[in-house]
């Protein structure tokens, strides 16, 4: 492989090229970069390519984008990105950060611990549910805090989404029959064109809601490292703003898709449940299948680029071709998954696991999901995460406010049901009359109705409510006294036919809960 490498990269394979002790140097390649692992550091050198969506052909451009890479990645991994260093030649040998006239530039990074990298951890089933929950909260916090502006809104809106897809299709025409077949290509394109037309107002709504941000752009398991003091998320896109300025749904969809491609639907469910629980983003799941399809398609396209790069070894090219086929097949699966017209309501006491299930199920179905806890507080101009410990049936939990809350849930659900979208209402629905109201709405909008009765033992509920008291950002004010009151007044869910009622044991793994719901609805496990 070394014979096809540029001279300065060949020279950087030698330990003496570096200003610090190096026992040996390992070279890894992506389609746009050389990564040289040298001792305690990693040096990333950009290939002098012009791929249309990026241009690294001049020294000035490579220096600029190295600097941008450091600046942007410090947002989520500040201690790892150390700076930009020059590469020069001295008596025919490359020297890193040694003065002289720069021939090229490299991003210098702290070498992250191999034992914390998410990808190998996934391969040996070493990623815990707690780590995924922390990762979801970290991403949610980043999305809430990262920059937005009129320019970001413009570049992250429907026009750019359309342009990105058009570019995807143009750049993959040449690989039809090699890594994607004609049927997959045509059906994905038909799915995309339909979504861009019928959901144009949804894309615009997301912009108005402030959901378009200066995000990561390449959020996958390969870019995550778990360390003792937190999680480092690295390797964001620096070379093209229109790939980084996007709906937050596109960012989180990448990691969810990546986990699913690796066969970890369980971790994807956990990720989305915690992310939606932290962001309270009711409309994000509606676009999740679209953006998962987009992310899988881009991965297939990018892997395919290596097939025509002579400096990439044949074995790596063969591996890239197989990876591209898998990603295109996954994109096709997202594009062709059924979207049921269904209204699902949760039914259960506080602490029974309703929100945990509702958020993950919404992500799986691509459903609008709305919480009564959020609606109740927003009706009264209260921040959803502001705690309100009121007497039972008083204050914001008075019967009058509760009635307004349940009516607001139905009002918000109606337009999405009328356009054929699945909807999940996350509320207690302990009274038969409230379930009847939701069922009438389903009938009026030609939607199927399903009440999910979430069940848990008293010991589990007590433990969950205790944990919730110290949980930062929780929207529920549920506590033991509320649980006891709800137990006394709940009416059994015995008025519904078997097809419209499903009891869910919330002590079971989340993925099993969701698979059970999908089976009840007659839907495949995506």
Mean pLDDT of 137-148: 97
Q: Which of residues 111, 139, 161 is at a domain's end?
A: 111
Q: Are residues 44 and 134 in the same domain?
A: no
Q: Which residues contact 398 (CB under 8 A, 6 or more apart)?
A: none
User: 451 near 491, Cβ under 8 Å?
Assistant: no
The DSSP string of 157-168 is SHHHHHHHHHHH
Of the candidates 445, 413, 447, the residue with the CA atom closest to the CA atom of residue 429: 413
* pLDDT beyond 60 at 1: no
| CB 202, CB 164: distance < 8 Å | no
521 touches 448 (CB < 8 A):
yes
Mark out the alpha helices in 349-479 (DSSP H runs).
354-365, 372-379, 399-418, 432-444, 458-469
Does 154 map to a domain? Answer: yes
Q: How far apart are CA 139 and CA 76, in angstroms?
A: 9
Which two tokens mark 447? 């939607």
DSSP secondary structure letter of residue 111: P
Whether 449 is in a domain gets the answer yes
Per-residue pLDDT reduced to its tens digit, 398-439: 999 999 999 999 999 999 999 999 999 999 999 999 999 999
Q: Count of domains in the chain?
A: 3
Structure tokens at 340: 């049921």
Domain match, 511 and 383 both? yes
pLDDT in tens, 104-142: 999 999 999 999 999 999 999 999 999 999 999 999 999
User: pTM here?
Assistant: 0.93
Residue-wise pLDDT tens digits, 81-114: 999 999 999 888 999 999 889 999 999 999 999 9
Among 111, 129, 163, the domain-final residue is 111
In angstroms, the CA 516 to CA 520 distance is 6
Residue 251 has pLDDT above 70, yes or no: yes
pLDDT for residue 313? 77
Query: What CATH number is associated with residue 65?
Result: 3.30.200
**Rounded average pLDDT over 365-374:** 98
Structure tokens at 431: 């009274």
Residue tagged 């793994």 (tokens): 509
List, in order, residues 6 or more apart from 73 with CB less than 8 Å away: 80, 81, 234, 235, 236, 238
Domain-embedded: residue 526: no
Specify whether 210 is located in the same domain as 348: no
- Are residues 106 and 240 located together in one domain of the fold? no
* Whether residue 100 sits in one domain with residue 144: no
- Residue 52 DSSP label: S
pLDDT of residue 2: 47
Of 336, 367, 402, the domain-final residue: 336
Q: Are 520 and 453 in contact (CB under 8 A)?
A: no
DSSP for 37-48 reads: EETTEEEEEE--
- pLDDT at position 436, please? 98
Place of tokens 């014979």: 3
Over residues 325-334, mean pLDDT: 97
> Which tokens sit at 283?
């409309």
Within-domain flag for 39? yes
Q: Identify whether residues 368 and 314 lie together within a single domain.
A: no
CA distances from 363 to 163, 305, 360 (A): 25, 31, 5
Together in a domain, 241 and 259: yes
Q: Are 206 and 234 members of one domain?
A: yes
Instruction: For residue 191, give the nearest of 331, 379, 27, 399 by alpha carbon.
Output: 331
Band of residue 188 on the pLDDT scale cut at 50, 70, 90: very high
CA distance 63 to 70: 11
Residue 60 has pLDDT above 60, yes or no: yes
Q: How far apart are CA 421 and CA 416, in angstroms?
A: 5
Sheet with 104-110: strands ordered across:
25-29, 33-38, 41-46, 104-110, 81-90, 93-96
Count CA atoms within 13 Å of residue 385 on its CB side. Answer: 9
CA–CA dist 492, 434 (Å, integer): 13
Which CATH number belongs to the domain containing residue 365 in this structure?
Answer: 3.40.50.300
In this structure, the strands spanning 93-96 and 81-90 are antiparallel
pLDDT tens for each residue of 434-447: 999 999 999 999 99
**pLDDT at res. 384:** 93
> What's the mean pLDDT in 357-383?
97
* Span of 188-202, 439-453, 462-476 with lowest mean pLDDT: 462-476
% of residues, the chain, pLDDT over 70:
99
- Domain range holding 213? 116-336
**Shared domain check, 450 and 430:** yes
């Amino acid at each position: 492989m070394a014979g096809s490498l540029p001279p300065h990269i060949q020279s950087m394979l030698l330990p003496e090229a570096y200003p610090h002790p190096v026992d040996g140097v390992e070279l890894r390649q992506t389609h746009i970069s050389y990564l040289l692992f040298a001792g305690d550091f990693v040096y990333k050198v950009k290939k002098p390519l012009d791929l249309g969506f990026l241009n690294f052909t001049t020294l000035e451009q490579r220096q600029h984008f190295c600097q941008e890479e450091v600046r942007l990645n410090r947002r989520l991994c500040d201690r790892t990105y150390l700076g930009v260093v020059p590469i020069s030649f001295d008596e025919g040998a490359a020297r890193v950060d040694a003065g002289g006239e720069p021939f090229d530039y490299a991003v210098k990074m702290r070498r992250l611990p191999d034992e914390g990298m998410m990808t190998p951890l996934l391969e040996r089933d070493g990623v815990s549910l707690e780590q995924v929950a922390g990762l979801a909260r970290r991403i949610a916090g980043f999305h809430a805090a990262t920059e937005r502006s009129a320019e970001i809104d413009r570049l992250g809106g429907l026009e750019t989404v359309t342009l990105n897809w058009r570019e995807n299709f143009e750049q993959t025409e040449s690989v039809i029959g090699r890594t994607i077949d004609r049927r997959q290509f045509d059906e994905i394109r038909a799915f995309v064109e339909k979504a861009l037309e019928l959901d144009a107002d949804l894309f615009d709504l997301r912009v108005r809601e402030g959901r378009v941000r200066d995000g990561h752009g390449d959020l996958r398991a390969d870019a995550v490292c778990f360390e003792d003091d937190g999680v480092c998320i690295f390797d964001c896109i620096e070379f093209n703003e229109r790939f980084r300025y996007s709906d937050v749904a596109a960012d989180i969809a990448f990691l969810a898709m990546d986990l699913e491609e690796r066969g970890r639907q369980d971790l994807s469910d956990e990720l989305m449940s915690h992310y939606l629980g932290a962001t309270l983003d009711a409309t994000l799941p509606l676009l999740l299948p679209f953006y998962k399809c987009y992310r899988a398609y881009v991965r297939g396209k990018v892997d395919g680029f290596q097939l025509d790069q002579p400096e990439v070894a044949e074995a790596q090219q063969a591996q890239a071709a197989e990876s591209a086929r898998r990603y295109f097949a996954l994109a096709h699966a997202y594009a062709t998954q059924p979207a049921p017209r269904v209204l699902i309501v949760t039914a259960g006491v506080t602490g029974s696991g309703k929100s945990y299930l509702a958020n993950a199920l919404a992500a799986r179905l691509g459903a609008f999901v709305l919480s009564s806890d959020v609606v109740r507080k927003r009706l009264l101009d209260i921040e959803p995460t502001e705690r309100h410990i009121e007497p039972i049936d008083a204050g914001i939990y008075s019967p009058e406010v509760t009635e307004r809350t349940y009516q607001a849930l139905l009002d918000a659900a109606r337009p999405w049901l009328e356009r054929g979208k699945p909807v999940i209402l996350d509320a207690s629905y302990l009274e038969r009359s409230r379930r009847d109201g939701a069922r009438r709405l389903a009938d009026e909008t030609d939607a199927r109705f399903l009440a999910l009765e979430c069940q848990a033992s008293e010991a589990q509920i007590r433990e969950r409510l205790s944990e919730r008291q110290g949980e930062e950002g929780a929207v529920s004010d549920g506590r033991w006294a509320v649980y006891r009151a709800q137990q006394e007044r709940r009416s059994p869910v015995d008025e519904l036919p078997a097809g419209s009622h499903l009891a869910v044991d919330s002590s079971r793994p989340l993925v099993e809960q969701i698979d059970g719901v999908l089976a009840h609805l007659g839907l495949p496990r995506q």
